[in-house]
């Protein structure tokens, strides 16, 4: 594992050891396997949830927008608390494990809720609380286990494994709905069992501590507890990254709405709806590692912005005049969504991880994820309200204009640091083994 021994973001990183560029750290691969299994569980539910809520229970777009926003952004306090606790005692595995277990148990909550909107909202909130607790400690483990020059690649590998689960989850949901004649309860039970398997993998195979056994003189200098939670905000580069992520998140309407728009535009059968996320997930899976490597080589700022340009392209494709070939519309939107996630998700974590101190990784990443999640919650609720009041076409035009403005703001806000713009050119050629 690689770590700047002073605990400062500006400390010189140790050079890679012989062969370091040839393989991904074992901790990253193990966490990827945990995420793969957990994503099968979560995507089994996510794939059928829009149909279950809108078509099965008859929720209006504004009600669905509220619940979709709740899933993405109503866990900010817990997310920040999880990041702080993980940093405070370097208990990254334990805090992440609590989150994984809570998300798994939330599937039973959906089963017990029946058709009650309140019970469904509580179960979804529990799932998002679990995700909020686990995400920052998990990403901190990835950062602390990887060499700084290979962060994009490590996150790309992890996200590729994570997305493999996102591909398998909807397939499993589709098969269960077909075999059980549309019984959503069967999907919820199977999702719970798979989620428990992910928890067991974490407990048995993920290392308990992320920091190497360093002598006392070489250990990171601890941060005073009073200043640790807000220390990341004192760094101008991190503030600019946080502002850009929140601004762009506020113009992101959410995948569920995109899939609903596709389903209505193309008149797809409800039975095929759970398969829509597969197209985006396939693109993400194929591009996550290449995008991470590109970000490591050319800088992480430009790929992150280009990813949002791809999302803008997806919105414009949905706004194209009717009458074109349906397969091209479907493939175009899903491919652009895959590019969006491959160029933004792990790249943003790598961009932020490179400016955060070693003993403040989980708290800083939690702060970033919270800002982005809250912005996306507002975007989902706002788009749902606009759809209800103005209709889907006008609402999508408004979202497109908002994203275009947010891209201009993100271009101005994102810092032009070494990690954002690319590694400095060395006068002495380095031998790259990766």
User: pLDDT tens for residues 196-234?
Assistant: 999 999 988 887 654 443 334 333 444 444 445 467 777
Mean pLDDT of 132-137: 87
pLDDT of residue 213: 39
Q: Stretch 30-47: mean pLDDT, rounded?
A: 88
- Over range 356-369, report the average pLDDT: 83
What is d(CA 40, CA 195) in angstroms, rounded to the nearest whole number? 8
The pLDDT of residue 431 is 33
Does pLDDT of 51 surpass 80? no
Q: Which of 29-33, 57-61, 99-103, 405-409 has the lowest mean pLDDT?
A: 57-61
pLDDT at 183 over 70: yes
Report the range of poorest mean pLDDT among 3-17, 45-59, 410-424.
Answer: 3-17
Whether 60 shows a pLDDT value over 60: the answer reads: yes
- pLDDT (0 to 100) of residue 219: 38
Q: What residues have CB less than 8 Å from 157, skipping those under 6 apart?
A: 24, 28, 29, 32, 288, 289, 292
Q: How far apart are CA 105 and CA 193, in angstroms?
A: 9
Residue 17: the pLDDT is 40
CA distance 109 to 70: 16
Least confident of 12-16, 39-43, 120-124, 299-303: 12-16
pLDDT at 378 over 60: yes
Whole-structure pTM value: 0.74
**Nearest-angstrom CA–CA distance, 362 and 137:** 5
Given this model, what pLDDT does residue 230 score?
62
Of the spans 55-64, 131-140, 303-312, which averages the highest pLDDT?
303-312
Convert the pLDDT of each residue in 137-152 to its tens digit. Answer: 999 889 888 888 888 8
Cα-flanking dihedrals φ and ψ of residue 387, to 5°? -60, -45
**pLDDT tens string 95-111:** 999 999 999 998 888 88
Rounded to whole angstroms, what are the CA distances from 385 to 205, 395, 403? 45, 9, 17
Tens digit of each residue's pLDDT (9 = 90 or more) over 247-283 = 999 999 888 889 888 888 888 777 677 778 788 888 8
Instruction: Determine contact, residues 235/116, Cβ cutoff 8 Å.
Output: no
Indicate if the pLDDT at residue 246 is higher than 80.
yes
Residue 72 has pLDDT above 80, yes or no: no
| Rg (the chain; Cα; Å) | 21
In this prediction, residues 290-306 reach a mean pLDDT of 90
- pLDDT at position 65 is 67
Least confident interval from 10-14, 94-98, 259-263, 292-296 = 10-14
- Cβ within 8 Å of residue 340, ≥6 positions away: 307, 308, 310, 311, 314
The gap between the terminal CA atoms of the chain, to the nearest Å, is: 17
pLDDT at 102: 92
Predicted pLDDT of residue 124: 79
What average pLDDT does the structure give for the chain? 79
pLDDT score at 396: 94
């Amino acid at each position: 594992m690689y770590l700047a021994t002073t605990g400062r973001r500006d400390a010189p990183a140790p050079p890679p050891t012989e062969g370091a560029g040839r393989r991904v750290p074992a901790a990253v691969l193990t966490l990827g396997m945990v995420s793969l299994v957990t994503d099968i569980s979560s995507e089994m539910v996510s794939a059928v949830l829009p149909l279950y809520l809108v078509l099965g229970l008859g929720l209006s777009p504004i009600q669905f927008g509220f619940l979709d926003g709740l899933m993405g952004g109503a866990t900010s306090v817990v997310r920040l608390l999880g990041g702080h606790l993980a940093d405070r005692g370097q208990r990254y595995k334990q805090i992440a494990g609590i989150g994984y277990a809570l998300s798994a148990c939330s599937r039973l909550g959906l089963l017990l809720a029946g058709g009650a909107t309140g019970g469904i909202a509580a179960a979804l909130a529990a799932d998002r609380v679990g995700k909020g607790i686990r995400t920052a400690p998990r990403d901190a483990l990835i950062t602390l286990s990887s060499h700084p020059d290979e962060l994009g690649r490590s996150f790309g590998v992890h996200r590729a494994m994570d997305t493999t689960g996102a591909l398998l989850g909807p397939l499993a949901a589709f098969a269960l709905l077909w075999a059980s004649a549309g019984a959503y309860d069967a999907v919820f039970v199977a999702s719970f069992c798979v989620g428990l398997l992910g928890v067991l993998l974490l407990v048995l195979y993920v290392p308990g501590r992320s920091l190497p056994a360093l002598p006392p003189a070489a250990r990171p200098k601890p941060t005073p507890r009073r200043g640790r939670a807000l220390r990341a905000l004192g760094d101008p580069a991190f503030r600019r990254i946080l502002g850009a992520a929140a601004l762009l998140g506020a113009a992101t309407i959410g995948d569920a709405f995109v899939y609903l728009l596709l389903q209505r535009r193309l008149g797809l059968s409800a039975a095929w709806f759970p398969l829509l996320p597969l197209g985006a997930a396939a693109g993400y899976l194929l591009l996550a590692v290449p995008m991470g490597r590109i970000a490591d080589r050319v800088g992480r700022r430009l790929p992150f912005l280009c990813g949002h340009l791809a999302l803008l392209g997806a919105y414009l494709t949905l706004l194209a005049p009717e009458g074109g070939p349906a397969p091209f519309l479907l493939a175009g939107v899903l491919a652009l969504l895959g590019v969006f996630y491959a160029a933004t998700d792990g790249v943003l974590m790598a961009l932020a991880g490179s400016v955060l101190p070693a003993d403040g990784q989980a708290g800083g990443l939690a702060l970033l994820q919270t800002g982005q999640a809250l912005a996306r919650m507002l975007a989902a609720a706002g788009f749902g309200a606009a759809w209800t009041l103005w209709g889907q076409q006008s609402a999508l035009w408004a979202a497109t204009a908002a994203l275009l403005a947010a891209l201009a703001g993100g271009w101005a806000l994102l810092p032009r640091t070494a990690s954002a713009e690319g590694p400095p050119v060395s006068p002495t050629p380095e031998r790259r083994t990766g």
